[in-house]
Amino acid sequence: MTTYLLRRLLLMIPTLIGITFLVFMLVALSPGGIGAAVQAQAGGSFQANSQVAVEAARLEDRYGLSDPKVIQYLRWLGRISPIKFGQRDQVLPNADLIRPPKRIPEPPLWRWFADALPGAEPGPLVEPAGTQADRSLQYRQLSREYSEARFDAIAANRLLDSRAVAYAREAGIEGAVTEQNRADFDVIDSHIPDKSLPAWADLEAAGKRAVAAYAKAAGLQVRFKAYYDTTPFDEAGVGIIPGVLSLAAPDFGVAYSNSRPVLDQILECLPVTIMLNLVAIPIIYLVAIPSGILAGVRRGSLFDVGLGSVYIALYSFPVVLAGVLCVGFLASKDYANMFPVAGINAQDARSFAFLPGYVAGEFQRGWLLDRMWHIGLPVLCLTYTGFAVLSKQTRAAMLENLNADYVRTAKAKGVAAKDVVFHHVLRNSLLPLITIFVTVFPAMLAGSVIVERIFTIPGMGTLLLQAINNRDLELILANTVMIAVVNLTALLVADVLYALADPRVTYD
């Protein structure tokens, strides 16, 4: 059993890598690409040296969007993986993760403007101060200086880029301007600079500025790196081989769209979705199994046929439609107005007592009842499609066992009909129902996306839709990982339960 569990858990790793790679590529290769919506929010039009273009260049630098897609994916994988290579991250006193600073990108075409790229002049290095709080202040100061300089260097490079485009157009260099209106520096560099062109002056000014900005940023980077290398803060995780291999908690990063840590957002939303499903699943089992048993025992009766028809109708009833009808007829002000339209609790639910009671002589429904009132309709929409699948399986399993030899023997011995059904047949029929969980659970996870959207519930589905609308790759990938982990774990648990319940099944 342990071997089996271990193998299943290990097989989850390639599956997780595969699914995240698929999702990553879907988003990354889409027109517009990663963070397209964030860039579009910044203004939309890409005037060469406008604020928007500089902002886009900064985003591109921050998330490394100009690297090949596979490298970007591997970088993400490196962050998410609990096994880390190379220099370890450090943890600030307020639990923020910090990383060693990245290299400053060299200004393109620098040979045209300077004889040699200026070396980094770090200036006086900063010694880590005594207490953690002081170091934190020091770190923030250094970090601010460094990122400002880096930003300057990036902006200067971007300006150089747009000037190079103008220059290349004037010089008539074939293939020097890409479709995104950016300069292809390899092509330009292979030509001899034509200093007689009117655009040359602008280009040279931008180039000189870029080289200067690079020199300053590179110096600050060295200083910052030196400070980081003294390990002023606790290192994240556990080291295995110093400087090479370490174990650390996965880092889900920070969302593009709202700059909040992704993990925080998921930890807010995941419990809501899981709560909805944990309420809905027992209801499905409680309704479907007894009705399935009854239908199996009274095979061919009016009840059996009627139940079958009702269930297939319910199964065919789209969740979207049920949700819209529920909101429209039961919750909206125009009709019944019996249920709340949105959320999982009233606004002031935190001040409620847990159980219903009388507060100052007035009835107050309490937190629990309020929650139930809010999730009533969503849970209804989540449950009804599951009835058909589960009840049909129960009925089929009952029928199979009712025809078995041991049942005939039991009947022949004179065992009461009730005992035959409940002691002999039922116990053997319940086993396949555990595996049905495998089909019901993913469907319910998917169903909760729609239900959450219709009833405006702040769960994983809402988070995912939001992330997709913003093309927020960090959030989408983290969502995928979470949903996949929940889903795969649920399937694994179902398999293990099956083995525990049925002594005939072993996985060894």
Partner 1 sequence: MPPTTLSSATPPRQTVTGVQLMQGIGVAPAQGFWPDAWSQVLRRRAAVAGLVWIGIIAFFAVFAPVIANGHPYVFRAADAAGVETTRYPLLQFLSALDVLLLFIGAVGVPLALLLPVSKRSRRFKWLLCAFFCALVAIVVASVIQSAVGSRDAAPFFRSMRGKGWAPFAATGMGVALTALIVSLLPVAASLPRRLVFIGVGGAVAMACVCLTWNRPRLESFDYHRRVAEGTAQATFAPISFSPQQRFSELSRRKPGTVLPDPVAQPRAGAPVHRFQLGTDAFGADVLSQLLHACRLSISIGLVSTGIALMIGVTMGALMGYFGGWVDLVLFRVVEIFMAVPVLFLLIVAVAVIEPEYRTTYTMMAIIGCFSWTGMARFTRSEFLKLRNQDFVQSARAVGLPLRSVLFKHMLPNGVAPVLVDASFAIAAAITIEAVLSYLGLGPIDQASWGKLLASAVSSEGEFKWWLAVFPGVAIFLTVLSYNLVGESLRDAIDPKLKKARV
DSSP assignment letter at 64 = T
- The smaller minimum CB distance to partner 1, of residues 225 and 471, is found at 471
Please classify residue 129 by burial: count the beta carbons closer than 10 Å to its beta carbon, then call 0-12 exposed, 13-18 middle and 19+ buried.
Answer: middle
Closer Cβ to partner 1, 367 or 441, answer by number: 441
CA distances from 339 to 273, 342, 373, 377, 452 (A): 20, 9, 7, 8, 15
**Shortest Cβ 218–partner 1 spacing (Å):** 37
Q: Does 488 bind partner 1 (CB under 8 A)?
A: yes
Q: Among 47, 141, 231, 309, which residue interacts with partner 1 (rule: CB under 8 A)?
A: 309
Q: Between 30 and 66, whose beta carbon lies closer to partner 1?
A: 30
In contact, 301 and 377? CB cutoff 8 Å: no
Q: Of 48 and 468, which has the nearer Cβ to partner 1? A: 468
Report, in this order, helix, strand and coil percent for the chain, each rounded to 5: 65, 5, 30
* Contact residue for partner 1 among 288, 398, 426, 483 (CB under 8 A): 483
Q: Which of 151, 303, 317, 373 binds partner 1 (CB under 8 A)?
A: 317
How far apart are the C-alpha atoms of 262 and 250, rounded to whole Å? 11
Alpha carbons within 13 A on the beta-carbon side of 410: 18
Q: Decide if 273 contacts 460 (C-beta within 8 A).
A: yes
Instruction: Establish if 334 lies at the interface with partner 1 (CB under 8 A).
Output: yes
Q: Per rule CB under 8 A, is residue 335 in the interface with partner 1?
A: yes
Q: Is the dihedral of CA 142, 146, 147, 152 positive or negative?
A: positive
Q: 22 or 249: whose CB is closer to partner 1?
A: 22
The SS3 assignment for 66 reads coil
Q: Is 442 in the site for partner 1 (CB under 8 A)?
A: yes
Among 478, 485, 388, CA closest to 436? 388
Q: What one-letter code names the amino acid at 128? A: P
Provide the minimum distance between the beta carbon of 503 and partner 1 in the complex, in angstroms, as a whole number.
Answer: 25
Residue 338 interacts with partner 1 (CB under 8 A): yes or no: no
Q: Does 471 engage in binding with partner 1 (CB under 8 A)?
A: yes
**Alpha-carbon radius of gyration of the chain:** 31
Rounded to a whole number of angstroms, the minimum distance from the CB of residue 446 to partner 1 is 3
Among 5, 71, 83, 324, binds partner 1 (CB under 8 A): 324
- What is the DSSP code (8-state) at residue 364? E
Binder of partner 1 out of 85, 329, 354, 406 (CB under 8 A) = 329
Q: Which is nearer to partner 1, 157 or 462 (CB)?
A: 462
Which stretch, 117-125, 263-271, 324-332, 365-373, contacts partner 1 (CB under 8 A)? 324-332
Residue 201 as a binder of partner 1 (CB under 8 A): the answer is no
| 185 and 108 Cβ atoms separated by less than 8 Å | yes
Min dist. Cβ of residue 388 to partner 1 (A)? 9
- Least gap, CB of 44 to partner 1 (angstroms): 14
Which DSSP string do the residues of 449-472 spell out, in sequence order? HHHHHHHT--SHHHHHHHHHHTT-
Q: At residue 303, what is the residue type?
A: F
Sole window of 17-25, 214-222, 231-239, 414-422 interacting with partner 1 (rule: CB under 8 A): 17-25
Binding flag, residue 26, partner 1 (CB under 8 A): yes
For residues 244 and 305, which CB has a smaller minimum distance to partner 1 in the complex?
305
CB 491, min distance to partner 1, A: 9
Helices 262-297 and 431-455: crossing angle in degrees, nearest 10, is 130
Q: Which residues contact 308 (CB under 8 A, 6 or more apart)?
A: 295, 392
Residue 446 near partner 1 by CB under 8 A: yes
Q: Least distance to partner 1 from the beta carbon of 308, Å?
A: 9
C-alpha distance across the termini of the chain, in Å: 6
> Position 133: which residue type?
A
Q: Does 282 bind partner 1 (CB under 8 A)?
A: no
Nearer to partner 1, 137 or 324 (CB): 324
User: Comparing C-alpha atoms, which of 64, 68, 66, 93 is closest to residue 79?
Assistant: 64
Judged by the rule CB under 8 A, the positions of this chain that interact with partner 1 are: 11, 14-16, 18-19, 22-23, 26-27, 30-32, 309, 312-313, 315-321, 324-325, 327-329, 332-335, 341, 442-443, 445-446, 449-450, 453, 464-465, 468-469, 471, 476, 480, 483-484, 487-488
